[in-house]
């Protein structure tokens, strides 16, 4: 096991990364007082890991309230959240009862938001079981629900007490889910660390193939990179926005297609290609860099263009309600170079249209 900390003063917390650590009762005993905890998980993860989690907590003298929600992005809504609150109230969970998110990004986002607002805030623990959650969504304290008009539009910044990332759980991921998680790994390389981007390029086949050592390194490095950015800008008032490389386009895809049709990582992959195309048109990078982005995403088995049925006008309409909009202008995260992302004011609809069209044309030319 390797551990690192997200340095946020009195809200600092550890991230533990290793194989088989989900069962390590000492990790929970170190942060949680004996008593009770509520585990929020879903119908896919529960049969795999809920009993193991319950036994680990029992060894730490913590009883468990089990709350199982539906699987999928569609569950990240008010109705599901209200069901979680019903279960918490029925079990008489109080302000000292931690909520533990056991699952992927949807479970973490929803359980985290529940923890942020239930009785005005209760302790929260992340136990991510997907690659996407381990490398990205479990770190940094972002919690959210989706709205019919925009992804993650309702939420709060609420930091966990700890994150326990058991990389052995990645062995049970379906290949599509593993590839979707790789999109966020790739994002960290292109947006934050050129050397890490080169490592990913050299090891992408191992990652896609589920090589345990390669995945463990990808999780650790991604957490290190994100933790450093979060420590610098917890509430995304500045630098943290660069972690959204590809996400303005991606959220438009997810909302426009209906939540769950495209996995988040799939949408981010296509979004990164469009963001790279836009970066080139804004004069920040050259075509060779765009090609590097496109080729790595393609090698990861991820889409390099958005869905053909999502029209240009719909992209523009949906991106106009993106959370990075400021003073009526859509701001985009672009690449200044491989390993260096920057937040840019609205480059203009003409360049955005060209970027979306170019990504689609390049994808069509390879088929």
Record the tokens describing residue 308, joined without a space. 């053909």
Out of 73, 184, 234, 266, which one is annotated catalytic? Answer: 184
**Annotation marks residue 240 as catalytic:** yes
Give the whole-angstrom CA distance, residue 290 versus residue 149.
30
**Annotation marks residue 264 as catalytic:** yes
Out of 73, 236, 254, 277, which one is annotated catalytic? Answer: 236
Record the tokens describing residue 166, joined without a space. 């058991």
Q: What's the distance, CA 222 to chain centroid? A: 11
Out of 42, 146, 152, 244, which one is annotated catalytic? Answer: 244
Which residue bears the tokens 């909302």? 255
**Annotation marks residue 61 as catalytic:** no
Give the whole-angstrom CA distance, residue 18 versus residue 60.
19
Out of 187, 220, 221, 264, which one is annotated catalytic? Answer: 264
**Annotation marks residue 146 as catalytic:** no
Out of 120, 288, 327, 367, which one is annotated catalytic? Answer: 120
Out of 36, 76, 220, 226, which one is annotated catalytic? Answer: 226
**Annotation marks residue 236 as catalytic:** yes
Record the tokens describing residue 181, joined without a space. 């998680």
Out of 16, 76, 142, 292, which one is annotated catalytic? Answer: 142
Cβ neighbours of residue 61 closer than 8 Å, sequence gap 6 or more: 29, 34, 35
Q: What's the distance, CA 2 to chain centroid? A: 21
Out of 247, 281, 292, 294, which one is annotated catalytic? Answer: 247
Three-state DSSP class for residue 306: coil
**Annotation marks residue 251 as catalytic:** yes
Out of 151, 217, 251, 281, which one is annotated catalytic? Answer: 251
Angle at 318 between CA 354 and CA 350, to 5 degrees: 20
**Catalytic residue IDs:** 120, 142, 184, 226, 236, 240, 244, 247, 251, 264
């Amino acid at each position: 096991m390797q551990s690192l900390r997200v340095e946020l003063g009195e809200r600092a917390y550890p991230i533990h990364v290793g194989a088989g650590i989900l069962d390590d009762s000492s990790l929970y005993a170190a942060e949680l007082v004996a008593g009770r905890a509520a585990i929020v998980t879903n119908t896919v993860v529960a049969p795999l890991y809920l009993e193991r989690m319950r036994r680990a907590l029992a060894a730490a003298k913590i009883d468990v309230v089990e709350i199982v929600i539906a699987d999928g992005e569609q569950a990240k809504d008010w109705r599901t959240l209200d069901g979680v609150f019903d279960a918490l109230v029925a079990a008489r969970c109080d302000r000292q009862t931690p909520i533990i998110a056991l699952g992927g990004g949807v479970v973490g986002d929803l359980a985290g938001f529940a923890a942020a607002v239930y009785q005005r805030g209760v302790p929260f623990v992340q136990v991510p079981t997907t690659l996407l959650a381990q490398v990205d969504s479990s770190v940094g304290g972002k919690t959210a629900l989706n709205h019919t008009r925009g992804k993650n539009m309702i939420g709060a910044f609420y930091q966990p007490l700890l994150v326990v990332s058991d990389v052995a759980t990645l062995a049970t991921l379906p290949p599509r889910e593993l590839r979707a998680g790789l999109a966020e790994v790739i994002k960290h390389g292109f947006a934050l660390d050129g050397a890490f981007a080169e490592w990913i390029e050299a090891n992408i086949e191992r990652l896609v193939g589920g090589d345990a050592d390669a995945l463990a390194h990808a999780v650790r490095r991604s957490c290190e990179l994100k933790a450093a950015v979060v420590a610098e800008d917890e509430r995304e008032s500045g630098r943290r926005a660069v972690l959204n490389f590809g996400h303005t386009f991606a959220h438009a895809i997810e909302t426009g297609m209906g939540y769950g049709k495209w996995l988040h990582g799939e949408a981010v992959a296509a979004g990164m290609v469009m963001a790279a195309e836009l970066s080139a048109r804004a004069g920040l990078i050259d075509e060779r860099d765009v090609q590097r982005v496109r080729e790595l995403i393609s090698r990861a088995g991820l889409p390099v263009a958005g869905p053909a049925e999502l029209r240009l006008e719909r992209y523009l309409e949906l991106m106009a309600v993106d959370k990075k909009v400021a003073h009526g202008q859509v701001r985009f995260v672009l690449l200044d170079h491989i390993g260096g992302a920057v937040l840019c004011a609205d480059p203009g609809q003409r360049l955005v249209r060209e970027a979306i069209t170019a990504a689609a044309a390049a994808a069509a030319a390879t088929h």
